[in-house]
Structure 1
Amino acid sequence: MKKAIILLALAILTTVACESWAASPSRKPQPAPPPPNPATMTQAELSRATPLLEGYVRRRQIGFNTQQRPDGKMEVVVVTKGRGADKAGVQLGDIVVAIDGLPIKKRIDLLDAVRGRSVGERVPLTVIRNGTQMELNVELGFSDMEEPIYALYRILYEEKKVGLAVMGAEIINALLTDRVALEQWAKGIKSNLIGKWESRCLKALSREKEFSLVDRQAVEQILKELNFGQSGMVSEKFRATIGKTLGATHLLTLEFSRFRDADVEKQRLIEIETGKVLVSSMRSTKR
């Protein structure tokens, strides 16, 4: 009897469920949102959508920074929390003597001592703490740094002054034919590029006392006065003007080209005094 009641209940539930499903209106598939127009997408929108390729240097990190004291000794002034030096027990005030037997006499030696080594490799670090020499083993980490910024980083580690002026140069969009729309788009792209690179340089280099960023409006004013074109070519007159007037030592020019399947961004780091191109880097963002 109980078995018959259970079977009857199941049959009723099944019938109700089927009727309910049949009575409910079928869900219409929602149309896909229209794809973004690649001709008018901002560079920031495109960067969020797809990764940037090329143009980076993988810098080996030991996890501390030093400052040269008046007596010439290299004193630890920053220990990055969670990095290899912190885990190995490096402390503020330690005097760095050597890395894997290589003497550390100036800041650039810190970069050269770990360059070319493998990430995760442990390197012997010799320090003096409270008059006692100690041997520590530090695991190398890494950070990815854009090529122009890494070049500036090395210059600063050589205890040289850097006054950086950032400017937009040639902006191309092969997908836009309307002149007014192209000019408006190019203006926005240029402002975005300059702001992005100024922010990246400040984030990476602002702790360096010899680093400064030249005011963007001052650079724009000189561009207007010299009737600077958009070809990306930097004349000797322009270099001399921003060097003398604004105290710039280096110039970072930015170019941007949009094609059907990719955006291409180019950077050139120029030494103002000599006109030498220190870095010519290119990155592409594929769609």
Structure 2
Amino acid sequence: MNPPAPRPFMTWQPVTWLYVPGDRPERFGKAVASGADVVIIDLEDAVAPVRKDEARANAAAYLRARRESRAPDAIGPGGGWHGGGGGVQVHVRVNDLAGPRGLDDLAAVGDLADAVRLPKVESADVLDAVTGAPAYALLESAAGIVAAREIAAHPRVAGVALGEQDLAAELSITDENAMNHLRLQVVLAAAAAGLPPVPMSVFPNVKDEGGLLASCRAGRALGLFGRTAIHPRQIPVIRRAFRPTEEETARAAEIVEAAERAERSGSGAVALPDGRFVDAPIVTRARRTLALAHRLATPPESTPPQATPPQAASHEAAAPEAT
């Protein structure tokens, strides 16, 4: 049986995702210009309860101004700017849909953002409330992990991710091997549903670049891809961790060259110079590896700050305030 095809809006896969607090609108433009593939305006954990209504209004105003500044053919599936490798996507993490605030968030930004991130998803039923942008389901509890396959299979879901700090706290997990077991369950659920690879959860110590690099490489070995960041300084480290090595790139180039030779000769078999044969999925992966190596070979170009509402006119560096 063939694996499910990737969903139409998942043809381009982000490597870096940067959180920015929703109550700090002066940071939105700076976050977009940081080099991250996706900026996540956070209305949940990064915002104090007394400022959540303000944060929602900030996000909606920014996204509306951003959309109005773009050409009509640049509008993405949720009404916002569609990155697709040609720009920065802007997502919004709303509050828990189990409460009225989350539903109000969804009503305010669901048709403006490129995607919404839904915290504490524990069943597929809650996803029926999403009618605008594609949704990323965050699995942050034992119930969410148990229901991972049903959640990933929901037609509104564009991707799934782990909320590891909440999950570890609920389960009292302190062992990395135990956490790896949970990560692999989510990797499997995403792949079975035809979703892109699961990005890694945040690394909370913004000063420990060596620890971040090692953690990313360990996650990459488990099939995770890309990572959310809480500060722009983490972005180049994440890109370096997920960039194919010289050996991997050379190996991929060898496979692609062999596949092209086989195609020119009309042969159905792809043979490497050392006599080994590879099949179509290996060739496809090799092509992806070369594309990723090319994409991450140089630092991303800075993106000009996007149109912002008046209260977001000044730009400061995004700060580590989200999880």
Fold-level match, TM-score > 0.5?
Answer: no
User: Normalising to structure 1: TM-score of the pair?
Assistant: 0.22
The structure with the largest strand share of the pair is 1
The structure with the largest helix share of the pair is 2
Give the structure, 1 or 2, with the largest relative contact order (CA under 8 Å, sep 6 or more). Answer: 2
Higher Cα Rg, which structure: 1
User: Normalising to structure 2: TM-score of the pair?
Assistant: 0.21
